[in-house]
Structure 1
């Protein structure tokens, strides 16, 4: 690696897109993900041990540099956490712990987005070190996301169904878009069908489908909807039941003929004969961040897709994370995860208030995802995100055909971005027929629609 020189440092700075730091009294700054990527570029110019990295940054980005003090502090944290990850990858645990101690001195789960990101990744790296050294890890730190016990799921369900939480989701731009786009695509796909059956793998509190239900309730009198059935699939009966009660109550308020069914099953074990589908029903299937859980078992993933094909849906909606976290190489997936979750903390910080229950729940989920990505291996690592290119290849081999999302769905998404000034940081771009949603320079989610090719 090249030693950092004034010339190549200036090159890195000049090639970086800066923005004014209005919150810190002026100066230049970057988004949270931008800080981490800039820190990565700087680290590439240092020798392997990098003992001079902090002093170099402190002098180069000091008060006279035109950069805000907050940016300098954030950059130092970005350098520390990534240098620590490099040492963990090389099994230099003594040096890694020294760097992580510095991270803990400035990182905070209640701080600004950079401080929060560093806090969670530092915690995860320490768990990884302890595990590899055979040191006992407290249960609340070592527990992987899929190992969480049922009471946590029930507690989460109750939080999800709180009216103030549902309302606060309307201030989270990407969650709102992830609700509206699938609803509009589903509406367009069923056309004038009088009976609709929606099968949802990952229904959460069910509020995602309220815009669709409202549209069905206001159909023209000449073509009223005779029935809407939602079948929720999952492993926690209590959580699915709470979502069903909420949706049933909502349907009653808008006088919509509605029924709710539960299929208690893990995704990998799903069978086509568990679904009570009528011959004259138009079927819509929705996967929301569920297929990724089977990436460690490709055969099971293929089997699930074959089951879905037997249901003969008019459309299959797929919403997945747009990131590459499936690498067997620890350092590669660490960096990808750092950039992805940095963008998420930045988004949450802008869109949701400090003490809102929705923020706490989202950040808790991010915590478990980070812990799983950093510390778990083999089948235990379920957060194995893949980008849309991977899903296209898989679905194509299975006989799926990607279909247009439709102009009405895209128009709905564009309108949402104009609802609030804080949504201006949302990004929405097309990748072929797929919609990619993100925050500033960081892509988050892909939304795509698929149909089976007729044989």
Structure 2
């Protein structure tokens, strides 16, 4: 079974060292090179692409981060004052990036200097920087833009899915791997960790045949699909289940949905208690940007435990999508800050090449999705128990491979059709010059990159 992408003319591609194929040309559009001086990619020649003078914003951010890590909060606040004069949530990609990293540093400063937090907040307020700490209030100068944020994080997530390929690439590639793994199976059970709105599954439902022909007779068998979705909100899970049931009904697909309300930290215990396994079902485990939630030092032991549990289920296939970044426990605060700065420089650059500065979708994505991610990564381990300041960590695919293989999983390379389909998705639906698909020769995983900066890694595993 294959998800058939829209037809298109053949697109030539060139080879990269250690990688096969990349989608996206070397054209002279707005996205042809980052040119930020942030260590990401490079500007194209001949005056094409984005050429920014970062005005010392990177140096100020690094100096501020160094001051935060040494608890020199007077120097950190001086840096934030200078940053506030140039950084802006309405400016170009560099200015927006600096604005949200400034906010992350201000929050981190307060969390690390808890005994002096009230004094730090007073100084921030005195310097008109208190807005950097206000999660739910837009900073001064947003004025009439307030309505942009009325939709909340759920709407921002949907906007991110619509205007960038990060989520759709992961869903499309994972679905194709699932279809190939359960081909000709009569009963399929997908355990989806962190299902959210369930956007991944309607395309897969459409690709599944409602009936299967029997090779030994002229009769046919009805295919059944069951999805067990996990998440922290029972109301969202119920809404997702209702939408998927309605959609399956239009396809005459025999479908069931089971909800398991739990957090990522307690997902194993919840599944051990509530997951129903049935004889004869082909089991699939789907982890789209979920496993990294088990990486922070506070509950690092949870990751091996979770992988061991998934291995015990003997799934036909396990699909994993994660950001391609490295926040190793041995890194210093400053090292992690620089890695994060480079990663999000590419992300903000890609948005700049896709959406205009005043785009409501762009403002919503940056404020409600990316800003929260940045704050979580910049935050030190143990730096706050508030869910809005949850510590976030990521690791590179090489380390994911180490952990997966230690748990007894084997990497399944993507099929030629899956690679071609992912390239076609980028070419047809995301015309901004800069998105590329990289297929790593050595490991057989798929990477979605902005120019030469890998941002998302998709891999599939079997027992």
Aligned twin of 1:304: 306
Which residue of the other structure, out of 439, 446, 457, is the alignment partner of 1:430?
439
SS at the partner of 1:197? strand
After TM superposition, which residue ranges in structure 1, 4 or more long, deviate above 4 angstroms?
19-24, 70-73, 137-140, 155-158, 217-225, 356-359
1:96 and 2:76 correspond: yes
1:226 and 2:214 correspond: no
| Deviation (angstroms), 1:91 | 3.5
For 1:397 and 1:252, locate their aligned partners in 2 and report how far apart those are by CA, in whole Å. 41
1:184 and 2:159 correspond: no
What does 1:51-90 correspond to in 2, within 5 Å? 71=51, 73-90=53-70
User: Residues 143, 257 of structure 1: CA spacing in aligned structure 2 closer, same or farther, 3 A cutoff?
Assistant: same
Aligned twin of 2:371: 367
User: Residues 409, 87 of structure 1: CA spacing in aligned structure 2 closer, same or farther, 3 A cutoff?
Assistant: same
Aligned twin of 2:264: 267
**TM-score, length basis structure 2:** 0.75
| Deviation (angstroms), 1:82 | 2.1
For 2:304 and 2:29, locate their aligned partners in 1 and report how far apart those are by CA, in whole Å. 50
Aligned twin of 1:288: 288
**TM-score, length basis structure 1:** 0.76
Which residue of the other structure, out of 339, 348, 352, is the alignment partner of 1:349?
352
Q: How many residues align?
A: 389
SS at the partner of 1:178? helix
1:115 and 2:119 correspond: no
User: Residues 245, 268 of structure 1: CA spacing in aligned structure 2 closer, same or farther, 3 A cutoff?
Assistant: same
What does 1:72-221 correspond to in 2, within 5 Å? 73-133=53-113, 134-136=116-118, 141=133, 156=152, 159=155, 165=158, 169-217=161-209
For 2:242 and 2:438, locate their aligned partners in 1 and report how far apart those are by CA, in whole Å. 36
Q: Deviations over 1:260-284 (max 9, x none)?
A: 1101122333243421121111111
| Deviation (angstroms), 1:294 | 1.1
Is contact 2:311-2:407 (8 Å) kept? Answer: no
For 1:230 and 1:156, locate their aligned partners in 2 and report how far apart those are by CA, in whole Å. 26
Which residue of the other structure, out of 366, 378, 381, is the alignment partner of 1:377?
381
Which residue of the other structure, out of 315, 321, 324, is the alignment partner of 2:317?
315
1:449 and 2:460 correspond: yes
1:392 and 2:392 correspond: no
Aligned twin of 1:325: 327
User: Residues 22, 289 of structure 1: CA spacing in aligned structure 2 closer, same or farther, 3 A cutoff?
Assistant: closer
Q: Deviations over 1:4-26 (max 9, x none)?
A: xxxxxxxxxxxxxxx998769xx
Is contact 1:404-1:449 (8 Å) kept? Answer: yes
Is contact 1:284-1:315 (8 Å) kept? Answer: yes
User: Residues 422, 310 of structure 1: CA spacing in aligned structure 2 closer, same or farther, 3 A cutoff?
Assistant: same
User: Residues 83, 394 of structure 1: CA spacing in aligned structure 2 closer, same or farther, 3 A cutoff?
Assistant: same
More helix by proportion, 1 or 2? Answer: 1
User: Residues 338, 310 of structure 1: CA spacing in aligned structure 2 closer, same or farther, 3 A cutoff?
Assistant: same
Is contact 1:172-1:352 (8 Å) kept? Answer: no
Q: Deviations over 1:383-420 (max 9, x none)?
A: 11000111111121211111122222112101112215
Which residue of the other structure, out of 25, 31, 34, is the alignment partner of 2:34?
31
Is contact 2:410-2:461 (8 Å) kept? Answer: yes
Is contact 1:159-1:357 (8 Å) kept? Answer: no
For 2:62 and 2:335, locate their aligned partners in 1 and report how far apart those are by CA, in whole Å. 11
Is contact 1:428-1:437 (8 Å) kept? Answer: yes
User: Residues 198, 368 of structure 1: CA spacing in aligned structure 2 closer, same or farther, 3 A cutoff?
Assistant: same
- Unaligned stretches of 5+ in structure 2? 1-25, 122-129, 137-150, 215-219, 385-389
User: Residues 355, 252 of structure 1: CA spacing in aligned structure 2 closer, same or farther, 3 A cutoff?
Assistant: farther
| Deviation (angstroms), 1:88 | 2.8
| Deviation (angstroms), 1:67 | 8.2
Relative contact order (alpha carbons < 8 A, sep ≥ 6): 1 or 2 greater?
Answer: 2
User: Residues 407, 265 of structure 1: CA spacing in aligned structure 2 closer, same or farther, 3 A cutoff?
Assistant: same
1:243 and 2:240 correspond: yes
For 1:67 and 1:81, locate their aligned partners in 2 and report how far apart those are by CA, in whole Å. 28
For 1:175 and 1:397, locate their aligned partners in 2 and report how far apart those are by CA, in whole Å. 27
Is contact 2:30-2:433 (8 Å) kept? Answer: no
SS at the partner of 2:226? strand
